Amino acid sequence: MANNKEHELQYPLGEQLPALGGTLAVAEGVKWVRMGLPFALDHINLWLLRDRQQSPDGQWREGWAIVDCGITNDATRSAWEQVFNDHLDGLPVLRVIVTHMHPDHIGLAHWLTEQWGTPEQPCRLWISGTDWNAARMASRSTIGGQGSPARQLLWFDGAGGARPVPAALGR
How far apart, in Å, are the Cα atoms of 6 and each of 3, 10, 11, 15, 113?
Answer: 5, 9, 11, 16, 40
Rounded mean pLDDT, 23-31: 96
Q: Where are the alpha helices (DSSP H) in 4-92?
A: 74-87
Reported as a pLDDT band with limits 50, 70 and 90, residue 1 is low
pTM of the model: 0.79
Question: How far apart (Å, rounded) are the C-alpha atoms in residues 167 and 164?
Answer: 9
Q: What pLDDT shows up at residue 116?
A: 96
**Angle of the 74-87 helix axis to the 109-116 helix axis, nearest 10:** 40
Q: Does the pLDDT value for residue 144 go beyond 90?
A: no
Q: What pLDDT shows up at residue 166?
A: 45
Q: Does the pLDDT value for residue 165 go beyond 60?
A: no
